[in-house]
A and B are shown apart, each in its own frame.
Chain A
Amino acid sequence: MTTSRLTRRRLFGVAAAGGVAVAAGPFVGAASPAAAGTSLSSDPVLHLIRRATYGITPGLVREVTTLTWPRWLERQLKPNGISDSLCDHHLARFPLLAQSSAQIRATQDGSWQTMQDLGAATVMRAAWSKRQLHEVMVEFWSNHLNVTCPFGDAWDSRHRYDADVIRPHALGRFSDMLVASALHPAMLRFLNNDVSRKQSPNENFGRELLELHTVGVGGGYTEAEMRTSALVMTGCSIDHDTREFLYRPTWHHTGPVRVLGWSSANADAAGGLAVAQSYLRYLAMHPQTARHLARKLAIRFVSDAPSDALVTALAQTYLAAGSDVRPVLRQLFHSAEFNASIGQKVRRPYEDLIATVRTLGLGPDATGTKGSRALYWIVGSMGQSPMGWTQPDGYPDVANDWQSASGTLGRWNAHQQIGARWWPNTLTGPPIRTLLPASLPATWGAVVDALAVRLLGQKLAAADRAAVLTCIERSATGSVRANDEWVRWRLSYLVALILDLPLHGLR
């Protein structure tokens, strides 16, 4: 992890308006939380879309409703059965991503272009892939087994890590993904296992394997077992000329090893790779790993504080399914706790950005990739470049970690510039006027209602609606002229304001 930055940033939040001291006590009795705001629609279709995809599109609500949500979910759990021609078509505009590491090394000479392409293509797929749940899970696992991108030492391999480790197993068995990850050159470089040898083990990977990838902090291992964990993995390296995986028997520690109930005689160096694989598969199926992953999945899809009962149930399913995540997800989305969790997750900057693109009905560039690259840049400036978390633990996924004044401004600014198509200005899509019905509503109140339904999937509560109307200096009952500035040339400001509302910030 030498070249990554460790800049852990967390917070639980802030609470004060400009310039006024806040003492908690005096306000306790006076508060009426959530008095007048718009509550998120409890429509189960919208709820599932907000959680299992990157947000509504003009056609998606109808698609899920028509199919019924349980059947739509089953289709999403089998992504290879979903035609994704639009996405495939645009993915072909990133030809480096289809190349092997050897091909990249032959032509790219250390350039970070392939990693930049991976970032832009990831945004493109999140916005426009039909395999939405797969894309969401790719993001989940990319964070869980994070190899930050861009990462200088993985300029030739980071895209293969995405293509060969994360994507094939994102809706498959974790044990397969874990072994593939641990033995992939990108991870071996990122956490330094490539240079760990028996005489002088490098503990970076052996520690994070336990602490982050499998059983988790508090998983019951001792500091001595952590050091053994590093010893078990010695020898799993790369050829520093070809940069491909290489098992180096002379670097492998031999002799009996024991970690968390797993043990091996580990008698000879020739068998060291098999010992390491056995260790990885054991860890993938450890009950603490099951709980760790179940909890993370529940936090991703249900709430920031899922119940112990849900975590336990999901962990049991995970173990019974041999670490296959699909039955876990099926159980999760069918659970009462999921059903009752409406509005309990906030969108992080990345989810806000992609949801904005999707609900506006924007499509990828007609030619080239400028629009996808611009979106990748914008979300980076908002603090959540996909795969860009520099530490091995991946982006946090609870609201408390994402409260930020400048992050909030960044979202509002993104709504404005994307909605107005200032930048990116190459994305395709119908004119912004089509966000309103072809036949204009009679009153401004009805215009706001129509826009809210079109963009957020629901109407606003009275107070929010009134605030929007005040902002555009129109009355609810005022009649709408077709050449009004808010229809003709300032509509993007009104659209941005509706996306700025708290509702769009929830998933």
Chain B
Amino acid sequence: MTEPLTQTQPCGCPAGEPSRALSRRNFLRVAAATGVLSGLSAPLLSTKLAYAAAGPSYTGDVLVVLSLRGGFDGLSAVVPAADPHYYSSRPDLAVPASLLLARGPLFGLHPALAPLLPYWQAGTFGAVHAVGQADPTRSHFAALEEMERAAPGTSLRSGWLDRMLGVRGIGTTFQAAQLGSTLAASSFSGLAPELAMDNVDDFKLIGDSAFNLRRAAALRTAYASAPVTQSAPAVTALGALATTAEMAAAGYVPGNGAGYPDTSLAKALRDVARLIKAGTGLQVACVDYGDWDFHENLGGPASGGQMYDHLSVLAGALAAFATDLGTAMSGVTVVTLSEFGRRLAQNGSGGVDHGHGNAVLLLGGGVVGGRVHGPWPGLAPAALDQGDLRGMTDYRTVLGEILQKRCRAGSLSTVFPGFTMPAPLGIVSVRS
């Protein structure tokens, strides 16, 4: 189990070794990397090695965290159509009630979410509204960092997914992955290994393959004693190469006739589906879909509008992912997160500035969908938080319920330190 990383312990680092400058955190990771390497006797680049899991297998849902960076406008996605303040505050931007999908007594879905409507109706796509962070900041950078650290009031430097993996204590090279990006989310920061890759097919060494096997062996040796910031990604890369080569050679035909749109989000989700189906031991995947910072020209509810087009990409990719996985979606939960929502009132540029409370979208076989969960504060001026939708549900409440009911988590005291989990909202069913 991962200990809080800020605890100080004598690390035994040699004095006068400034080039290594090991913090306790780095020291632990050097220890882990070298310890593992020194025990390595299996053939290099063995597929079995890459797949092998030590200890009991993880039997929970694959958690897919879709990061909607830039400040997702939850009020446009899951529209509080019955609240007159929504329409009066956004005279040029509000989605007309007549265009909304799945109209309920209070909410309706943005028309661009149409590809996900069948899942809403089937009860596997749902939402939680008025979700917020404890930290009231409206800064992208501070809000993102706090959201992915998920430990307000502490000096922890690790991310919540890293602590989740640490508590789980079971790992393979592919246990945690960032797809569609060469850099991983800060929610993965810390000890547990994760694999960041643009895509499966390009994850390879170019050139003479026989030489590359020996090259990889030489690099394993050389990186074993390198500073951990260099060794950790190198060792992970070397450990994954054989598997990605096999997967690339095998090619991929999505299941159930799923047609992924030609977007980078869809490509990344397609690779997540591949890793799940290939039995790589994937437990959690992060995918980014950013560019939601619509300070101007949010646009109308039709093709060409920025919000419409963005939601279309999101819905199209998620629908293809769910189609591709088919029955396997019973063991997958997708959750969207964004650092904050946007201000209720439109600004002078046809956009909306940074706000607070937001909508979270959920997709998966265990989701209690077809409805909008969570207490709703209303949008009357007195109900707002500095002009913004109030955060009624801490986002950790949403994640905590998913972790406990779907991902075999017990106590959340390490994952969300200092957070008292309230009664669950009922957003997911208990995994059988």
Contact = CB atoms under 8 A, between A and B. Distances in A.
B385 to A, nearest CB: 11
A272 interface: no
Contacts of A142: none
Interface stretch (A175-183, A286-294, A353-361, A397-405): A397-405
Contacts of A413: 205-207
A226 B202 CA distance: 44
A417 B206 contact: yes
B185 A16 contact: no
The interface centre, meaning the residue of A13, A28, A31, A490 with most chain B CB atoms within 10 A of its CB, is: A13
Nearest to B17: A34
Interface string A371-394: 000000000001100000011010
A254 interface: no
Nearest to A205: B295
Given A19-B52, A410-B182, A502 B348 contact: no
Interface in A321-371: 340-344, 346
Q: Is the interface of B mostly helix, strand, loop or mixed?
A: loop
Interface stretch (A100-108, A113-121, A164-172, A195-203): A195-203
A1 B185 CA distance: 21
A46 B177 CA distance: 37
Contacts of B198: 406
A10 B140 CA distance: 14
A26 B229 CA distance: 20
B281 to A, nearest CB: 8
Contacts of B173: 16-19
Given A15-B33, A202-B349, A402-B183, A22 B171 contact: yes
Contacts of B35: 26-27, 30-31
B182 A468 contact: no
B237 A203 contact: no
A391 B139 CA distance: 12
Contacts of A502: 222-223, 226-227, 230-231, 234
Contacts of B353: 202-204
A6 interface: yes
Nearest to A392: B140
A260 interface: no
A505 B230 contact: yes
Contact of A39 (B19, B30, B194, B239): B19
B183 A401 contact: yes
B282 interface: no
B3 interface: yes
A22 B349 CA distance: 51
A40 B140 CA distance: 38
A405 B197 contact: yes
Interface stretch (A84-92, A155-163, A425-433, A493-501): A493-501
B157 interface: yes
Contacts of A493: 207-208, 211, 215
B136 to A, nearest CB: 8
B426 interface: no
B383 interface: no
Given A33-B13, A404-B184, A21 B27 contact: no
A341 B28 CA distance: 22
Contacts of A32: 34
Interface in A197-219: 197, 199-204, 207, 211-212, 217
A470 interface: yes
B25 to A, nearest CB: 7
A5 B70 contact: yes
B218 interface: yes
A31 B31 contact: yes
A497 B347 contact: no
A23 interface: yes
Contacts of A407: 182-183, 196, 233
A27 B39 CA distance: 12
Contact of B69 (A8, A346, A382, A403): A8
Given A4-B293, A11-B183, A471-B215, A200 B34 contact: no
The interface centre, meaning the residue of B183, B202, B296, B386 with most chain A CB atoms within 10 A of its CB, is: B183
Interface residues of B, number: 127
Contacts of B148: 10
A25 B12 CA distance: 14
Interface residues of A, number: 103
Interface in A466-507: 466-468, 470-473, 490, 493, 496-497, 500-502, 505-506
A223 interface: yes
Interface string B175-197: 00010011111101111111111
A20 B36 contact: yes
Contact of B141 (A7, A195, A346, A393): A393
A260 to B, nearest CB: 16
Contact of A343 (B19, B139, B158): B19
Contact of A406 (B141, B145, B237): B237
A240 interface: no
A471 to B, nearest CB: 4
Nearest to A40: B19
Interface in B1-36: 1-3, 11-14, 17-22, 25, 27-36
Given A17-B235, A18-B50, A416-B207, A24 B290 contact: no
A305 B26 CA distance: 13
A400 B215 CA distance: 25
A382 B222 contact: no
A252 to B, nearest CB: 14
Contact of B139 (A35, A36, A217, A410): A217
A473 B294 CA distance: 58
B54 A20 contact: yes
A409 B203 contact: yes
B47 to A, nearest CB: 10
B204 interface: yes
Contact of A10 (B185, B240, B294): B185
A470 B220 CA distance: 12
Contact of A9 (B3, B19, B27, B185): B185
B140 A6 contact: yes
Nearest to A210: B139
A412 B234 CA distance: 10
Nearest to B306: A2
A20 B36 CA distance: 7
A17 B37 contact: yes
B191 A15 contact: yes
Given A16-B36, A17-B33, A211-B139, A11 B182 contact: no
A11 B189 contact: yes
Interface in A93-139: none
B288 A7 contact: yes
A14 B193 contact: yes
Nearest to B297: A2
Contacts of B288: 7, 9
A344 B21 contact: yes
Contacts of A471: 211, 214-215, 217-218
A420 B207 CA distance: 10
A502 B188 CA distance: 23
B390 interface: no
Contacts of B215: 412, 471, 493, 497, 500
Contacts of A199: 348
Given A20-B39, A502-B227, A400 B189 contact: yes
B184 to A, nearest CB: 4
Given A13-B233, A404-B196, 15 more contacts: A2-B296, A12-B190, A13-B189, A15-B33, A15-B235, A20-B52, A21-B172, A22-B191, A37-B222, A203-B353, A403-B230, A405-B233, A405-B234, A500-B215, A502-B223
23 contacts: A3-B291, A6-B69, A8-B290, A9-B185, A13-B29, A14-B232, A14-B236, A15-B193, A18-B238, A22-B193, A24-B166, A192-B351, A196-B349, A197-B348, A202-B349, A223-B138, A343-B18, A393-B141, A402-B183, A403-B229, A406-B203, A463-B225, A467-B217
Q: Closest 7 CB pairs between A and B?
A: A200-B348, A18-B239, A343-B19, A6-B70, A37-B225, A31-B31, A15-B29
